[in-house]
Chain A
Amino acid sequence: MTNNYDIVIAGAGPAGLAAAVEAARRGARTLVVDENTKPGGQLFKQIHKFFGSHEHKAGVRGFAIGEKLLAEAAELGVEVWLNSVVWGLFANKVAVVRGGEQITLAAKKIILATGASENAVAFPGAALPGVMGAGAIQTMINVHRVLPGKRVVMLGSGNVGLIVAYQLLQAGAEVVALVEAASAIGGYGVHAAKIRRAGVPILVGTTIARAFGRGQVEGVVLAKLDESFQPVPGGETTLAIDTVGIAVGLTPLTELAWMAGCQFVFSPRLGGHVPLHDADMETTLSGVYVAGDITGVEEASTAMEEGRLAGIAAAAALGYGAAAAEADKAAVRSRMDVLRSGPFGLGRRTAKAEILAQRKEAASCRE
């Protein structure tokens, strides 16, 4: 069975849904495919209120943003296939497994909005049951409403580590400590303050040297680090805990883009190798677009804007809403610049600008 769509989008996170909304609004026949039972990507696990401007639904809780986007998409006639996986890209064909059936979709344009996956760490005992990613913890407490354990130590002080530590406290767990190898907290101070005032010690310049336990983690040994990240002799402390949360960053989920043959660029700031794309979010392969965390790990707000950009551009390339497209895209880009400002956003803005510059270079080389 072959199904024809104007635009097929892989991933129903904020980027994918926003792209679908814009594309469908302009009249493109659009399908979004997501592997989860619920749409929203990372959003459906987020019970906290989001930052950002009002336009980006700031102050609204993450899962609610997802629901709104979904309602909008439904109204515009976007098809959303859940529990469905894009398992391969073969030229312009998208191979999907849905309900135990292999379906080949013919798509005029493809938008990859597959998000990012959590990084792992390696220390002795890291493979013990009870050592888990922050994302898995979030799914347990916010989606399934079960506590992973009673006494938790969290590794990583980026926003994800801070937020998940907070949500653990809300859910009734004791967070024994949050540890961070760097000499300063990575995420927003306000998030850190929330957990600090709940009595959680935030130990910077510290890492987990090992975890131990029989069949299940029972404790960790923390080690103090010097400026060159070497353990300080005698700086070890042992904590009795039953859960270790790992929040050491995300890596863009890019296999589909590699498989399709997109060119990549390395950006440490954005989480590793990311697909090169132009100001319309189109990759080096004509007709294949990217948006959201797959292009570099950022936030839901920027993911939505990138999704909009990709949705507008892909639709316009097919002749839908082409007249107003340039103005629409300009509006999105200026909102995106606002998001990528300040001490936290500027680094990302520079990194993104570099990608666009490199994309131009790649394009001129080919000509």
Chain B
Amino acid sequence: MPGVKYSGRLSDAELAAVLPPAERLAQGPVAVIECVQSIPCNPCEKACPFGAITVGDDITALPALDRAKCKGCGLCISRCPGLAIFVVDASGDEATIMLPYEYLPLPAAGDVVDALDRSGKPAGTARVLKVNTAAGLEGTAVVTLAVPRKLADIVRNFRPRGRDAIYICRCNEVSEAEIRQAVREGARTVAAVKLATRAGMGLCQGRTCRRLVSRIIAEETGQHPAEVLPATARPPVRTLPLGTLAGGEDDE
């Protein structure tokens, strides 16, 4: 028997009730709330800053999405404990899908991954556009995928492939490609690359990557390596606990 109750996959009928009409999809990003059973749950209602989602006083009611109000911001995605909310944008040549992702390792922007459908079957290839791991997401990353437009209603998960990226900053997982991109977009100093990509902002404070970063900048910009100065050195040069620092009584 089809349906989420028997196979975990929404039936065509169930889907029909939640998928946005083609006109709305073409207008820009919109949430798709694939929550079709009356369970006692309503965080999505509060999550939406635009009041687009209503569950109402009976918290077992299904969430109702006002698609006219929905801006597709995706703030509701990580709040849904059922991981039932996606934001789909089929207004361009390529569709984008924002989805919740709670596996490690996380992909990085630029990765090419296998796109999966609602039953976990490969549906094609997707490109990771964005990985949002903000602290407020409480451990649920929101990943934005680019997929062929015809897969907009199909893709709901993905599987990373063996990665081929060259990592320069290990602490913050910044790839060589990202650094070159940042330099091409105008970051011509180690400090600027750091701001643009976070390379060197991690735990080791750039001890591992700064030389590689300098070399890439020199290569990309044609500057002499002597001109590529390290980012400003700031205390502490090794980590120290806050409580230890708090004990100091220097006063000048």
A190 an interface residue at 8 Å Cβ cutoff?
Answer: no
Q: Which residues of B contact A85 (CB under 8 A)?
A: 236-238, 240
17 more CB-based (< 8 A) A-B contacts, given A87-B237, A120-B209, A266-B225? A87-B235, A88-B237, A102-B245, A102-B248, A119-B211, A120-B208, A120-B211, A120-B212, A123-B166, A124-B165, A126-B167, A127-B167, A127-B170, A258-B232, A259-B233, A272-B225, A273-B230
Counting chain B CB atoms within 10 Å of each CB, the highest count among A87, A121, A126, A255 belongs to A255
B12 an interface residue at 8 Å Cβ cutoff?
Answer: no
Q: Which residues of A contact B162 (CB under 8 A)?
A: 212
* B230 contacts A88, C-beta separation under 8 Å: no
B177 → chain A, closest Cβ, in Å? 11
With CB as the reference atom, state the residue of chain B lying closest to A117: B207
* A259 contacts B234, C-beta separation under 8 Å: yes
Q: Which residues of B contact A266 (CB under 8 A)?
A: 224-226
* B233 contacts A255, C-beta separation under 8 Å: yes
15 pairs of residues in contact across A and B, judged by CB atoms under 8 Å: A85-B236, A88-B237, A93-B250, A95-B235, A100-B244, A102-B244, A120-B212, A123-B166, A124-B163, A124-B165, A127-B170, A251-B210, A255-B233, A259-B233, A259-B235
A324 an interface residue at 8 Å Cβ cutoff?
Answer: no
Q: Which residues of A contact B153 (CB under 8 A)?
A: none
Q: Which residues of A contact B170 (CB under 8 A)?
A: 120, 127
A136 → chain B, closest Cβ, in Å? 12
In whole angstroms, what is the CA distance A254 to B233 when docked? 9
Q: Which residues of A contact B238 (CB under 8 A)?
A: 35, 85, 87, 97
Contacting B at CB under 8 A, from A72-101, are 85-90, 93, 95, 97, 100-101
Going nearest first, the 8 A-B pairs with the smallest beta carbon separation are A88-B235, A266-B226, A87-B236, A258-B233, A102-B248, A255-B233, A259-B233, A255-B237
B168 an interface residue at 8 Å Cβ cutoff?
Answer: yes
Q: Which residues of A contact B166 (CB under 8 A)?
A: 122-124, 126
With CB as the reference atom, state the residue of chain A lying closest to B170: A127
A332 an interface residue at 8 Å Cβ cutoff?
Answer: no
Interface residues of B, Cβ cutoff 8 Å to A: 162-168, 170, 176, 207-212, 224-226, 229-230, 232-238, 240-241, 243-245, 247-250
Q: Which residues of B contact A264 (CB under 8 A)?
A: 229
A64 an interface residue at 8 Å Cβ cutoff?
Answer: no
A234 an interface residue at 8 Å Cβ cutoff?
Answer: no
* A88 contacts B236, C-beta separation under 8 Å: yes
A142 an interface residue at 8 Å Cβ cutoff?
Answer: no
Q: Which residues of B contact A117 (CB under 8 A)?
A: 207
A169 an interface residue at 8 Å Cβ cutoff?
Answer: no
B149 → chain A, closest Cβ, in Å? 31
* B209 contacts A258, C-beta separation under 8 Å: no
A139 an interface residue at 8 Å Cβ cutoff?
Answer: no
Interface residues of A, Cβ cutoff 8 Å to B: 1, 35, 85-90, 93, 95, 97, 100-102, 104, 117, 119-124, 126-127, 210, 212, 251, 253-256, 258-259, 264, 266, 268, 272-273
Q: Which residues of A contact B240 (CB under 8 A)?
A: 85, 87, 97, 102
A343 → chain B, closest Cβ, in Å? 24
In whole angstroms, what is the CA distance A305 to B179 when docked? 40
Q: Which residues of A contact B232 (CB under 8 A)?
A: 258
B202 → chain A, closest Cβ, in Å? 12
A44 → chain B, closest Cβ, in Å? 19
A132 → chain B, closest Cβ, in Å? 12
Q: Which residues of A contact B235 (CB under 8 A)?
A: 87-90, 95, 259
Q: Which residues of A contact B168 (CB under 8 A)?
A: 122
* A86 contacts B237, C-beta separation under 8 Å: yes
Pick from B167, B234, B245: contact of A122, CB under 8 Å:
B167
Q: Which residues of A contact B248 (CB under 8 A)?
A: 95, 102, 104
A223 → chain B, closest Cβ, in Å? 14
* B211 contacts A259, C-beta separation under 8 Å: no
Q: Which residues of B contact A251 (CB under 8 A)?
A: 210-211
In whole angstroms, what is the CA distance A35 to B237 when docked? 11
A367 → chain B, closest Cβ, in Å? 25
With CB as the reference atom, state the residue of chain B lying closest to A127: B167
Q: Which residues of A contact B167 (CB under 8 A)?
A: 122, 126-127
In whole angstroms, what is the CA distance A293 to B243 when docked? 33
With CB as the reference atom, state the residue of chain B lying closest to A265: B226
A288 → chain B, closest Cβ, in Å? 14
Q: Which residues of A contact B250 (CB under 8 A)?
A: 90, 93, 104
In whole angstroms, what is the CA distance A253 to B163 when docked? 32
* B176 contacts A122, C-beta separation under 8 Å: yes
Q: Which residues of A contact B225 (CB under 8 A)?
A: 266, 268, 272
* A97 contacts B211, C-beta separation under 8 Å: no
With CB as the reference atom, state the residue of chain A lying closest to B212: A122
In whole angstroms, what is the CA distance A121 to B235 when docked? 26
In whole angstroms, what is the CA distance A29 to B236 when docked? 26
Counting chain A CB atoms within 10 Å of each CB, the highest count among B164, B212, B243, B248 belongs to B248
With CB as the reference atom, state the residue of chain B lying closest to A210: B164
* A272 contacts B244, C-beta separation under 8 Å: no
Counting chain B CB atoms within 10 Å of each CB, the highest count among A87, A120, A273 belongs to A120
Q: Which residues of B contact A126 (CB under 8 A)?
A: 166-167
B173 → chain A, closest Cβ, in Å? 8
Pick from A88, A100, A104, A273: contact of B241, CB under 8 Å:
A100
In whole angstroms, what is the CA distance A114 to B211 when docked? 18
